[in-house]
A and B are shown apart, each in its own frame.
Chain A
Amino acid sequence: MNAPPPAADALYEHAACGLVATDADGLILHANGTLHAWLGMEAGALAGKVRFCDLMSVGARLFHHTRCAPLLQLEGTVYEVQLDLLAADARRIPVLVNIVRRRDGDTAIDHWAVFRSSQRHAYEHALLDARKVAEEALEASRAADLQLQALNLQLTAADRRKDEFLATLSHELRNPLAPMRSALDVLRLKHGNIGDERLLQAFDRQLRHLTRLVDDLMDVSRITQNRMQLRRTPVDLAPLVRSAVQDMAATMAAARHTLRLAVQDTPLVVDGDATRLAQVVINLLANAAKYTPDGGRIDVELACEDGHAELRVRDNGIGIPADALGAVFNLFAQLEPALDRARGGLGIGLALARGIVDLHGGEILVDSAGPGLGSEFTLRLPLVAGCAAREETVAPAALAAPLRVLVVDDSLDTAETMALALELFGCETRMAHTATAALELAAEFAPHVALLDIGLPDYNGYELARRLRALPAGLDTTLIAATGWGQDKDRTLALDAGFDHHLTKPIDVEQLRLLLR
């Protein structure tokens, strides 16, 4: 039954793998027939003549000497090493090699088993290639990511520079408006009833328009730089909307628009900044007037909708294409910018409106059936339940008593026009253009009121205020700061420096007159 075991010699000679014995220096002592056959060598061509390493490719030899030889010394075994052997005809034969070192007394003999591994080798190479491709793809994607990040940083920086530029621009534009406003006020007070009233009115309207544009620009840059602060109080929207409609009445009339106003009777109180909310409503109304051809119809409705005050402003104007609806609240977004500049504007109003509404925790939406089919804007603000509307107290306009007023401004025009305006109120005025001159003048003039610019050539208005206060009659003087910067922090700075009031340029003379009472 049982076949006899094959002779050991035959088993060795014709094994299914190459079998080799070398001395510790790698010289081949025996090699079986299988290996000879694979390499295409005659029997006896290897033993005593060739080192096993000499059968390897150069790269494999390097690997063997740097890696396998130390391991053989240390561990006595090396397993599963992939090498290329070189056949007699220079063919490469990929093989897998195991080596075991055996000691016989002082001599070490290395036993090698060599397995052909062409298929496995090809497969592993395919795997390695795939791995390389994947790594390269990953690397490319990393590089693209880095590039995107760099671009993103650049964009952020550019956006920040734009915001800073807008803030500076609006502030710089505001400064020359101050003397213009004062000059116009003087002209109207002086020559109010003579024949060129229409010119003055046009001047006045355009100046107000310009001031509003600059203010909007300033406000929107405050919002983009997160610097806008709301002064919140309970605000009843009904009188606020009525008042805004009244303010816009002249504009509506000029365009022959019919405006219908429907306001719910009950108070609609929100926690908000009355000035800012009025600004939003006026922007919506101005927008409707602007984008509706003359003789249009504008409907304004204010009502309560599930805990929210809801203001709808609907017009039958030029409408908005569906694909542009998403962008109307973006800064500088304008329809048909290149074709039709006739309507003017910077594309700020709606962006500003949304910014303010966002700060109030409300929302503003737009809808339009399409071009030529009108637009509808909806403003929703959360109502404050159980909060009564603030009593509106209107300060009666009182005439100023004849007062001594010191006007300090390094701009001669600004100082001069302001002084002229004050004289028309019956004030006695003196002007100074530096802080030093102002201090000297005040000592002798003993003004009831000092109107101080902050940016002065020698030292600033805050310091001047402190020094004025130190004068003998200093505590009796009403100090008013006039600055181009209208933020809360500027107001606080002024009050901290001892000012009684803070006005933002351009100064509204009516507002000033109230302070002179």
Chain B
Amino acid sequence: MSVLIRNNVHVAGEGAATMVFAHGFGCDQTMWRFLTPAFQGRFRTIIYDLVGSGGSTLAAYDRTRYASLHAHAEDLLEIIDECATGPVIFVGHSVSAMIGMLATIAAPKRFAAQVMIGPSPCYINDGDYVGGFSRGDIRELLDTMDDNFIAWSQQLAPAIMGAPNRPDLREELTTSFCRNDPEIARHFAGVTFLSDHRDDVPKSTVPALILQCTDDLIAPRTVGEWLHRHLPSSSLALIENVGHCPHMSAPSASSRAIDVFLAQTLR
């Protein structure tokens, strides 16, 4: 199967280098819509859906293969082989930051830089390490996902429920964002939130920017700081933001921080 179809890959913009954007758990590539315009004039940009999310080929989601993030990292390398030109800058949100990090360990020469937005190598508290959650919390998340089986699979068309106050999106109202298969999403939730890649962190030598929100429930500041200490070639930038998605709620601040990092790294 074509990688482009499997991962619903979209390429835009032109430039000497390529930026690849990978979405986090719970959404799909549409979450990059506020950030990518800042780069499309200067870079070739690639956005795609993780297998099992959004418009990817759901049939390709083999639960055994995708039982770890390594499979997603292999997919990423395939996409880069297929579509990227020049040096590659990977931008990963949340779980995809870890997926990108695994890919940089597997093929360090393919990457010039990696940008991690709200990353966490391990969500569960373990001794001195504060990931932010207990196993019981993660179990509760999975239960909540079960409760929202219907809401998850069908984001009802906003037109039915009353026009949303977003004229800029009106043209796309017919399409649903982040429509994910509930069964796969639940499996992916387990893989994501039970993963522990702390041991892999020191192995990634590709220059990294950790973009950390000042107030993020999912990836608390302690996690960003832990990662900065253990990731060899990393810098940490804080974005004044409440929540887990600064690329959506604070896209300008995010793109500025990325530009500063790239200017230093890609001299």
Q: Is the CB of B245 within 8 A of A77?
A: no
**Whole-angstrom CA separation of A346 from B195 in the bound complex:** 64
Q: Is B249 an interface residue (CB 8 A)?
A: yes
Scan A68-109; emit 1 where CB is below 8 A from any B CB, else 0.
011101111101111110000000000000101111000000
Instruction: From A10-18, A52-60, A412-420, give the one contacting chain B.
Output: A52-60
A80 to B217, CA, bound (A): 23
**Complex interface: stretch among B42-50, B65-73, B140-148, B257-265:** B140-148
CA distance A74 to B28 in the complex (A): 11
B105 → A minimal CB distance (Å):
25
Pick the most buried of A26, A66, A102: most chain B CB atoms within 10 A of its CB: A66
The interface-forming segment of B79-87, B163-171, B203-211, B225-233 is B163-171
In the complex, which residues of chain A have a beta carbon less than 8 angstroms from the beta carbon of B202?
none
User: Contacts A62-B218, A74-B177 given: A82-B144 contact, CB under 8 Å?
Assistant: yes
A53 to B217, CA, bound (A): 10
The reply on A63 being an interface residue by CB < 8 A is yes
Tell me the minimal C-beta distance from B118 to chain A in angstroms.
Answer: 10
Chain B residues near A67 (CB, 8 Å)?
26-27, 148, 152, 178
Q: Is A440 an interface residue (CB 8 A)?
A: no
B209-248 interface bits toward A, Cβ cutoff 8 Å, 1 = contact, 0 = none: 0000001011000000000000000000000001111001
Stretch in B7-15, B96-104, B109-117, B153-161 touching the partner: B153-161
User: Is A65 interfacial (CB-CB < 8 Å)?
Assistant: yes
**Among B138, B151, B215, which residue has its beta carbon within 8 angstroms of that of A80?**
B151
Looking at the complex, which one of A26, A65, A77, A121 makes contact with B158 (CB distance below 8 Å)?
Answer: A77
User: B5 at the A/B interface (Cβ < 8 Å)?
Assistant: no
Select one of B94, B148, B156 contacting A63, CB under 8 A: B148
Q: Are A59 and B27 in contact (CB under 8 A)?
A: no
Asked if B144 and A70 make an inter-chain contact with CB atoms under 8 angstroms apart, the answer reads: no
- Contact pick for B151, options A60, A75, A79, A121, CB 8 Å: A79
Cβ-closest chain A residue relative to B185: A67
Most A Cβ at <10 Å: residue of B25, B147, B151, B178: B147
Q: Mark A32-68, 1 if CB is under 8 A from B, else 0.
A: 0000000000000000000001000111111101110
Residues of B within 8 A of A62 (CB): 133, 137-138, 140-141, 144, 193, 217-218
Is A60's CB under 8 angstroms from B162's CB?
A: no
Task: Check B19 for interface membership: any CB of A closer than 8 A.
Answer: no
A328 within 8 A of B: no
Chain A 405-423 near chain B by CB (<8 Å), digits 1 or 0:
0000000000000000000
A53-B217, A76-B169 known; A69+B156 contact, CB < 8 A: no
Considering residues A59, A60, A128, which has the most beta carbons from chain B within 10 angstroms of its beta carbon? A59
Residues of chain B contacted by A103 (CB below 8 angstroms) = 165-166
Asked whether, in the complex, the Cβ of A76 is within 8 Å of the Cβ of B166, the reply is yes
Bound form: Cα–Cα A100–B148 in Å: 18
Q: Are the C-beta atoms of A83 and B144 separated by less than 8 Å?
A: yes
Select one of B141, B165, B193, B248 contacting A70, CB under 8 A: B248
**CA–CA, A102 and B133, complex, Å:** 32
Q: How many residues of A contact B (CB 8 A)?
A: 37
A124 at the interface (CB under 8 A from B): yes
Q: Which B-chain residue is minimally distant from A70 (CB atoms)?
A: B27
**Is the CB of B252 closer than 8 A to any CB of chain A?**
no
Interface residues of A in 453-496 (CB under 8 A from B): none
Digit string of B23-54 for contact with A (CB within 8 Å is 1, else 0)?
01111001101100000000000000000000
Which of B148, B158, B165, B249 is within 8 Å of A24, CB to CB? B249
Q: Are A76 and B155 in contact (CB under 8 A)?
A: no
**What residues on B are CB-neighbors of A24 within 8 Å?**
249
Q: Given A66-B24, A69-B243, A70-B26, answer yes or no on A101-B178 (Cβ-Cβ < 8 Å).
A: no
Complex contact B148–A75 (CB within 8 A): no
Q: Quick check: B145 and A63 within 8 Å, CB to CB? A: yes
Shortest A397–chain B CB gap in Å is 76
Cβ of A139 within 8 Å of any chain B Cβ, yes or no, is no
Of the residues A71, A80, A125, contact of B150 by C-beta under 8 Å = A80
Please determine whether B165 and A76 come into contact, CB atoms closer than 8 angstroms: yes
Whether B139 is near chain A, meaning CB under 8 Å from some CB there, is yes
Chain B residue numbers with a CB within 8 Å of A71 are: 27, 155, 177-178
B171 to chain A, nearest CB (A): 13
What is the bound-complex CA distance between A368 and B245, given in angstroms?
86
- A136 on the interface (CB 8 Å rule)? no
Whether A65 pairs with B144 at a CB distance below 8 angstroms is no
**Interface pair B156/A82, CB less than 8 Å apart:** no
Asked if B164 and A70 make an inter-chain contact with CB atoms under 8 angstroms apart, the answer reads no
Q: Are B148 and A81 in contact (CB under 8 A)?
A: yes
| A113: min CB distance to chain B, Å | 11
B137 touches A100 (CB 8 A): no
| Set of chain A residues within 8 Å of B152, measured between Cβ atoms | 67
Q: Are A59 and B137 in contact (CB under 8 A)?
A: yes
> Does A500 touch B at the CB level, under 8 Å?
no
* A57 lies within 8 A of B156 (CB): no
Partner of A59, one of B24, B144, B249: B144
Q: Assuming the A-B contacts A70-B248, A75-B177, are A26 and B242 also in contact, with contact meaning beta carbons closer than 8 angstroms in the complex?
A: yes
Q: Which residues of A contact B139 (CB under 8 A)?
A: 59
The answer to whether B158 and A75 touch across the interface, beta carbons within 8 angstroms, is yes
In the complex with contacts A75-B155, A76-B169, A101-B165, A59-B143 CB distance below 8 A: yes
Task: For A59, list chain B residues within 8 Å (CB).
Answer: 137-144
B25/A66 in contact, CB under 8 A: yes
CA distance A26 to B216 in the complex (A): 12
Please report which residues of chain B, range 159-192, place their CB below 8 angstroms from some CB of chain A when the two chains form the complex. 161-162, 164-166, 169, 177-178
Chain A residues near B94 (CB, 8 Å)? Answer: 66
Check: A197 CB closer than 8 A to any chain B CB: no
Neighbour of A74 across the interface among B138, B144, B178, B242, CB < 8 A = B178
Bits for A113-128, please: 1 = Cβ < 8 Å to B, else 0.
0000000010011001
CA distance A438 to B80 in the complex (A): 74
In the complex, are the beta carbons of B248 and A124 less than 8 A apart? no
Which of A61, A73, A98 has the largest count of B CB atoms less than 10 A from its CB?
Answer: A73
Contact A73 B140 (CB under 8 A): no
Docked complex Cα distance between A65 and B34 (Å): 18
**A100 and B245 within 8 A (CB):** no
Question: B165 and A58: CB pair below 8 A?
Answer: no
Chain A proximity of B202: nearest CB distance (Å): 27
Supposing A66-B218, A69-B245, A70-B245 touch, asked if A75 and B27 sit within 8 A by C-beta, the answer is no
Cβ-closest 10 pairs across A and B:
A59-B140, A66-B26, A76-B164, A25-B242, A82-B147, A59-B141, A58-B137, A70-B27, A62-B141, A67-B26
Between-chain CB contacts (< 8 Å), 21 pairs: A26-B243, A57-B140, A58-B140, A59-B138, A60-B140, A62-B144, A63-B148, A69-B245, A70-B31, A70-B177, A70-B178, A70-B245, A73-B248, A73-B249, A74-B33, A77-B161, A79-B151, A82-B151, A121-B147, A124-B147, A128-B146
Apart from the given pairs A53-B217, A63-B141, 5 other A-B contacts in the complex at a CB distance below 8 Å = A62-B141, A71-B178, A74-B169, A82-B151, A103-B165
